[in-house]
């Protein structure tokens, strides 16, 4: 499932195609994805101006001139594909709609934005912009890890009574939003903390070390266009390439990259998810 860096990469890719432009028409080609689409969705999108594109956790938020916000979740395999963009050199025609093209937005300038989702675990919803924080998907989210509300004091307070492993705690979207399995594994290796360590057993200093590591890993991944493992593509169809910088994720049995460490990367399963770590340098 795309994590914060992948969703932020897609949001940035959509900006030139959608920001400040009118949706000429919307074609909703099925009644649902993971959940039913909102009532009369096509008409509520058609003719509306895109006032801005934001991200909250793993959700893309498209603010509309109608006073509503389109909430987009990519799910496991969702892609936002752009076609028909003008450039100084060429004009790209729209491809014929494909089987898994479920929502098609034709913009006023001829650009087309298509939501393609083969597995149909993605979602779209519409909600009043001014009360978006009350939406059931948004209201449960913790602070953004790249924002000012996420800091060492906050994280220490949230973890002090958590008996669960630190890996599990950091995946809790109510504690910090947007983190997923890949980046938590990478963060824990950078700071030398085992994914098995109980969250409440960590010292204040070790918890504090997590905050800059989380910011650094996410920022580096965004700069790299995210990580492409199975389904993820950027809005222009390109792959992300942060996967080439993985220190532990997917590297079971390979040597640890930490200088002077002679350990090898181990894989265990926690809460149904693979955790990769070095038994020697992560304690």
Q: Residue 230 catalytic?
A: no
- Considering the candidates 24, 120, 264, 273, report the single residue annotated as catalytic: 273
Distance CA(224)–CA(232), nearest Å, equals 13
User: Looking at the DSSP assignment, which residues form a beta bridge with residue 105?
Assistant: 26, 113
- Considering the candidates 3, 6, 68, 186, report the single residue annotated as catalytic: 3
List, in sequence order, every beta strand (DSSP E) within the chain.
23-28, 50-56, 59-64, 68-73, 79-83, 101-107, 112-116, 123-128, 265-270, 273-278
3-state helix, strand, coil in the chain (%, to 5): 25, 25, 50
Distance CA(126)–CA(28), nearest Å, equals 13
Give the largest CA-CA distance in the chain: 61
Q: Residue 264 catalytic?
A: no
- Considering the candidates 55, 56, 58, 158, report the single residue annotated as catalytic: 58
- The angle subtended at Cα 248 by Cα 143 and Cα 1, nearest 5°, is 50
Q: Residue 112 catalytic?
A: no
Distance CA(183)–CA(176), nearest Å, equals 13
User: Looking at the DSSP assignment, which residues form a beta bridge with residue 71?
Assistant: 61, 125
Q: Residue 58 catalytic?
A: yes
The residues annotated as belonging to the active site are 2-3, 58, 273
């Amino acid at each position: 499932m795309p994590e914060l860096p992948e969703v932020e990469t897609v949001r940035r890719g959509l900006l030139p195609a959608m920001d400040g432009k009118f949706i000429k028409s919307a074609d909703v080609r099925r009644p649902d994805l993971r959940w039913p689409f909102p009532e009369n969705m096509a008409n509520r999108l058609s003719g509306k101006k895109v006032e801005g594109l934001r991200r909250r956790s793993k959700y893309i938020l498209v603010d509309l001139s109608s006073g509503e916000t389109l909430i987009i979740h990519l799910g496991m395999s969702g892609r936002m594909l752009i076609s028909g963009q003008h450039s100084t050199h060429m004009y790209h025609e729209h491809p014929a709609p494909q089987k898994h093209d479920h929502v098609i937005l034709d913009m006023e300038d001829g650009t087309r934005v298509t939501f393609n989702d083969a597995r149909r675990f993605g979602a779209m919803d519409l909600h009043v912009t001014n009360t978006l924080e009350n939406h059931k998907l948004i209201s449960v989210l913790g602070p953004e890890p790249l924002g000012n509300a996420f800091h060492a004091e906050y994280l220490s307070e949230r973890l002090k009574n958590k008996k669960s492993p630190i890996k599990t705690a950091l995946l809790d979207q109510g504690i910090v939003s947007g983190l997923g399995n890949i980046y938590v594994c990478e963060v824990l290796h950078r700071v030398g903390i085992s994914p098995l360590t109980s969250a409440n057993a960590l010292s204040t200093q070790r918890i504090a070390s997590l905050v800059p590591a989380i910011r650094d890993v996410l920022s580096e991944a965004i700069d790299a266009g995210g990580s492409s493992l199975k389904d993820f593509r950027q809005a222009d169809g390109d792959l992300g390439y942060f996967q080439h910088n993985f220190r532990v994720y997917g590297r079971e049995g390979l040597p640890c990259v930490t200088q002077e460490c002679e350990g090898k990367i181990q894989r265990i399963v926690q809460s149904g998810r693979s955790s990769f770590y070095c038994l020697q340098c992560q304690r």
